[in-house]
Amino acid sequence: MSTIPNIASASKRLRQSQKRRGLNRAKKAAIKRVEKQIRLHLEAGDRDAARALLPELAQAADKAAKRNTIHANKAARIKSRWTKRVQG
């Protein structure tokens, strides 16, 4: 249960955190969307289509890391693991 802030600065912080939460969720969802597409292509045996999506995944991960939605090391780990899966 959320309470309504009584203080103006608390109201502003609530607005800011809600806005940031939405932006963060959108950036994470973009990564998951591309991961799902790659996974579906790999399950179907279409490695070329999966390989074509790797730059899109790298871009989504790097954007999220640039804005501190995810840690830079996590972005690198995501890119590395999916590249290894597609190539292997």
pLDDT in tens, 1-15: 678 899 999 999 999
Q: Give the C-alpha separation, 66 to 19, whole Å.
A: 17
Domain residues for 60? Answer: 8-87
Q: In angstroms, how far is the first alpha carbon of the chain from the final one?
A: 48
47 assigned to some structural domain? yes
pLDDT in tens, 24-79: 999 999 999 999 999 999 999 999 999 999 999 999 999 999 999 999 999 999 99
1 assigned to some structural domain? no
- Cβ–Cβ contacts within 10 Å for residue 50, how many? 22
3 assigned to some structural domain? no
Q: CATH code at 29?
A: 1.20.58.110
Q: What is the pTM of this model?
A: 0.87
Q: How many domains does the chain have?
A: 1
Handedness of CA 10, 15, 18, 24 (dihedral sign): negative
36 assigned to some structural domain? yes
Task: Give me the residue label for tokens 């998951």.
Answer: 32
Q: Give the C-alpha separation, 42 to 49, whole Å.
A: 8
41 assigned to some structural domain? yes
50 assigned to some structural domain? yes
